[in-house]
Structure 1
Amino acid sequence: MTDSPGEDQVAEPVEAPRPGVSRRGLLGLALGAGAAGLAIGAGAGAATAAAVGRAQQAQDAASAYDFFGTHQAGITTPVQDHLHFASFDMMARTDREDLVSLLQDWSYAASRMTQGLDVSATGAIGGSPEAPPDDTGEAQGLAASGLTITFGFGPTLFENDEGDRYGIAAQRPPQLQKLPAFLGDDLDPEHSGGDLCIQACADDPQVAVHAIRNLSRIAFGRARLRWSQLGFGRTSRTTAAQSTPRNLFGFKDGTANILATDDAALDESVWVAASDDPSWMAGGSYLVARKIAMLIETWDRVRLTEQEAIVGRDKGAGAPLSGGDEFTEPDFDATAKDGTPAIPVTSHVRLAHPDANKGIQILRRGYNFVDGNNELGRLDAGLFFLSYQRSPEQFVTLQRSLSTDAMNEYIRHVGSGIWAVPAGAAEGSYVGAALFA
């Protein structure tokens, strides 16, 4: 199963999106705030750089994913190398029409940007020279670079302290609740939650940043950016062709992740079924985001054998400590020479394994992050964990199982959020249309 259009499309909405961006969206394009730039380093030699550039352009041009389809792209899509994740809150005094028009405008812009186009037909240079351009322009000349844009709805969108702002409280999924407190949480409220979220993934960091920058401008007057996170170096894989990446602790991560070709596992563990409640979420999923700070300097002083015991895998090959290669199933009954379990009972691999959690699986799409250094001069770095699951209870069960994880000594959960991710939009429609039908 892939995120490309399938035979089963979501039902046509009551109100189809207007072609192009609404007047308020255009106002946002004109008045939105600027964004940070990203620099790309130059190659060592002109000839080599040119050859590499041509090869990369050919690869990027072949990596354009359709925004429309049965499921939203960016879930089972081959995991890209870069992420820009953003959380938004709806503005005060906005109404249902504002929310619907925002989702329509975002869907239209996303459908263009994922094909390597500007957010509108006039784009960065085709409009009036006396007005701000529709598109910010930093992606001019760049290919789609595998860009996927995935939208989610947080619990507070349905109801917050102000009540049912948009007339959708009755449609809130029963399982879409703020995550419970977990052992070791040190959450920053300013880096948690949000009414809406956007996950932009691409193989070029500038393409991902461009997407969030322009969607933020379009939201002007209707939604404001609450927090965002840049990520690099994927920490999981969703296809067998992808190699298993390494996290900032130096270990292979995501070896046993659900793959896009495993339809049975996806139906069982990732996609919301038509029989699940509510029906408008059929074909969707639930996204959990956790910003996990890694105590890098402390970890770097730990003996190799202890690091491997904490993780439960060989650091070089990625094989479980019970033997075999990276993809060998862990043998939790195997013992070491001293008679103790070969895979320690407090290891991450043992505690996170489906055998220890009633067969529960989730689909991971995490990224490394480095946000400079903290006030102590240490790296502000870690894992931006993203997982998709059919029910949030799957994540809650796994996280509680990890309460005795030896790795907890070296990590801190500092940000958190949960969102309902609707099914993909039918062509000519918009994401989340079924919620308003």
Structure 2
Amino acid sequence: MSLFTDTPVRTATEYIQLGEAHSAANYAPLPVVIATARGSWVTDVAGNRYLDCLSAYSAVNFGHGNERIVDAARDQLGRVTLTSRAFHHDQFGPFCAELTALVGKQLVLPMNTGAEAVETGIKVARKWGYRVKGVPAGRANMVVAANNFHGRTTTVISFSDDPDARADFGPYTPGFRAVPFGDAAALAAAINGDTVAVLLEPVQGEAGVILPPPGYLARVRELCTRHNVLFIADEVQSGLARTGRTLACEHYGVVPDMYLLGKALGGGVVPVSAVLADADVLGVLRPGQHGSTFGGNPLACAVGRAVVGMLATGEYQERARVLGEQLRAGLESLVGHGVTAVRSLGLWAGIDVDPGLGTGRAVCERLLAHGVLAKDTHGQTLRLAPPLVIEPAELDGAVEALRRSLKDLASS
């Protein structure tokens, strides 16, 4: 059959081989080929159904094919999808107003991907440092946390300690000081007169859903205020109801100077990200100093408005909170039975697998056989982040599938 046939019928193996033959090998996906999806479930090309417990790294918080989001996208597709920021459009102002009201900041700069939001935050912080704080030209530095994940652009990997993300991509961008996550004393020691910002994930996702120690984020806020340094919270994964609150920072009673949002803001339909801060921070930008052809486009804004409208009710935050308690209880019952530790906040969990059983990847492969999709990280850790629309019985089914997968490995 021709490669260019409109609707070729292929086996999963053929689809996988086609992809591997014609794409760069920058991912190592599990051997499943998804064809359709709805809610918390996906279906492969052979008709097998799987419970999605990754949610595209929290980009699909509201479930696959969410009607409200898809309807907003469909309506906008028939009107106008892209104008560039050279002109105004009728979705931009309302989107900005509604998102800033939800988050509690005065201004928003819409972008596309989470990595773009991080890069934008870095640029804004440096500009603020030079124009407002008075840091001498070229000397601005930022403090970041070890084991961070903020994306894979050249600047961002310059302060990553993940060898896969960093090795062989130098020379690296200067101006970053990494300290251990959770160590307030080390952070305080790293701040000097040229420090313009502290950039942190309030909960480290890629590192394995690492929660901050009690009082740590409050201490970060205090240090930033004392030294006139911006506190930037990367909530690309943790934000927008994943943890049981609109923003993970709310759990710890802190308000950063800048939020970085992405993933779920696009509802699993289009990439949408945003940088939010008050006018004394984002107001340092002037026309021509930063931009994006697609950032804040009509389709993205229409979808983002649907997402913000859903979050404004508090329904999804409450679902994540209640179901998160159920998930934690189920996972903690596995400690000592193939699991060495569990960390969770809302519907987001990091599970450390007993090295005697195998790797996190091995567990994910067994979960696939039991009809559940999940993702490993850093060797022994498994991450679960199901859509917030998952039902309680489905959540119990996911935990049971994990229990069975661990038993499979123990007996192999």
TM-score by length of 1: 0.21
Quick one: higher RCO (CA 8 Å, sep 6+), 1 or 2?
1
User: TM-score of the superposition, structure 2-length normalised?
Assistant: 0.22
The structure that is helix-richer by fraction is: 2
